[in-house]
Amino acid sequence: MLRFLFILLVSLVTSAQATTVRVGFQTGDINTLLMYAAQTGQFARNGVEVKLTPFPAGPAMLPALAAGEIDLAWMGEFPAVTGFSNGMPIEILMMERLDFTNVRLVVNPAAGIQTVADLKGKKVAVSVGSTSHNHLLRALSQAGLRQDEVTIVNLSPANMPPAYVAGQVDAALTWEPNVGLMEKAGARPIATTRSLGMITGGIWVARQAFTKDSPAAVQGFLKTWREAQKTYVANPSEVRQYEAKRVGQSAQEFDALIARQTASHPSFEQLLTADFMGPPGKELDSRLMKHLQAIGAFLVAEKRISATPANWAPIFNTRPIQDFLRAEKP
């Protein structure tokens, strides 16, 4: 009885001290660690009450961030660069996931498409100004085709499978779970992020004001993320079940989806290396920074933004991770 009362008291105290963090996530992408941490109360145990807000895709989160309606957002690199380039006071706290085959170009075999070169004159679904659009342009360039030699159909990821099944497009370029749905309907993959020599993944973006004003909440979020990563390594099925339920898949179906992604979740230590966000003071030389700058050039060329940032340095804020790692040391 005394043990029960003690646990109840600790729970009440933790709840009273918890800070509400408004988090945006994409319904059209896979959020394995986030759903696990939220559904099992991990955030609350670390003093963070997470309020999840769904969005169809990353670009839709930008107005919510600008209006201060959400504090953190899980998105791709393209909306983050778009928002930052347009003067939004946002910053990238970490790259949560690196994908190698999550983004795929799939084609309808009945349309006579065997290679990327066969896309000439065909209808291809992409989300214009996004990762999928950029992947398509790289694929076309490598095949010696121009963008105007295909008919681009601008669709959200969720609208691509119905368009494919209805025969409204001959090919599509997007990510899980929707690319997997098209493959289930007979589409055949002919290119991936890896085969095109590109990188992509998911990042956590924050309002600068939130990071500055709520450092304890940020640390609680990072602590939860660290714990979720460790649990995922030790017991993948335990962590995956919550996101599998959200997307309506069995454990076996979701395991197959994860295998198709070929994703990795870098540790905080890895994030502070040149392969990701760079060591402190050397962020501008990191692979991820070069990647973002290339995205900026793409967005300017496609007239999605008017110019790239004069100063890229503030787009990264690795100080919270640095503080976390220092505090974690015995």
Q: Within 13 Å of residue 260, how many CA atoms lie on the same side as its CB?
A: 23
Q: Are residues 317 and 223 in the same domain?
A: yes
- pLDDT single digits (tens) 99-117: 999 999 999 999 999 999 9
The average pLDDT across 44-62 equals 93
Identify whether residues 94 and 206 lie together within a single domain. yes
- Assign residue 240 the CATH number of its domain: 3.40.190.10
Residue 13, domain member (yes or no) = no
Contact assessment for residue 39 and residue 243, using Cβ atoms and an 8 Å cutoff: no
Given a cut of 90, whether residue 180 has pLDDT beyond it is yes
Q: Are residues 116 and 250 in the same domain?
A: no
Which two tokens mark 226? 């660290």
Angstrom distance (rounded) from CA 316 to CA 208:
10
Q: In this structure, is residue 294 part of a structural domain?
A: yes
Are 230 and 310 in a shared domain? Answer: yes
Output the average pLDDT for the chain: 93
Quote the crossing angle between the two packed helices 236-246 and 32-39, to the nearest 10°: 90
pLDDT band of residue 284 (cuts 50, 70, 90) is: very high
> What is the share, in percent, of the chain residues with pLDDT greater than 70?
95
Q: Are residues 236 and 301 in the same domain?
A: yes
Q: Is residue 123 scored above 50 in pLDDT?
A: yes
Which of 132, 159, 192 corresponds to the end of one domain?
A: 192
Residue span of the structural domain in which 63 resides: 18-99+200-328
195 vs 213: CA distance, rounded Å: 42
Q: What is the pLDDT of residues 212-261, one digit of tens each?
A: 999 999 999 999 999 999 999 999 999 999 999 999 999 999 999 999 99
pLDDT of residue 15: 43
SS (H, E, C) 206-234: EEHHHHHHCHHHHHHHHHHHHHHHHHHHH
pLDDT digits (tens, 9 = 90+) for 68-106: 999 999 999 999 999 999 999 999 999 999 999 999 999
Instruction: Assess whether 26 and 134 both reside in one domain.
Output: no
On whether both 184 and 239 belong to a single domain, the answer is no
What number of other Cβ atoms are within 10 A of residue 18's Cβ? 18
User: H/E element holding 141?
Assistant: helix 131-142
User: Do 41 and 171 sit in the same domain of this protein?
Assistant: no
Rounded to whole angstroms, how far apart are CA atoms 181 and 291? 29
Q: How confident is the model at residue 10 (pLDDT cuts 50, 70, 90)?
A: very low
Report whether 304 contacts 248 (CB < 8 A).
no
> Are 233 and 319 members of one domain?
yes
Phi, psi of 191 (to 5 degrees): -160, 150
Task: List phi, psi (to 5°) of 50.
Answer: -90, 130
- Where are the extended beta strands (E) located within 56-192? 72-75, 90-99, 104-107, 123-126, 151-154, 171-174, 188-192
Q: What is residue 17's predicted lDDT score, i.e. its pLDDT?
A: 60
Average pLDDT score over residue span 139-155: 96
Asked if the structure places residue 6 within a domain, the reply is no
- Average pLDDT estimate for 264-271: 96
Q: How confident is the model at residue 2 (pLDDT cuts 50, 70, 90)?
A: very low
Q: Which of helix, strand or coil describes residue 256?
A: helix
Is 317 in the same domain as 224? yes
Do both 125 and 37 map to the same domain?
A: no
Per-residue pLDDT averaged across 144-163, rounded? Answer: 95
Would you say residue 23 lies in a domain? yes
Domain count within the chain: 2
Structural domain includes residue 275: yes
Residue where a domain stops, chosen among 149, 176, 192? 192
Q: In this predicted structure, what is the pLDDT of residue 330?
A: 76
Residues 273, 241 share a domain: yes
At which of 176, 192, 208 does a domain end?
A: 192
Residue 7 lies in a domain: no
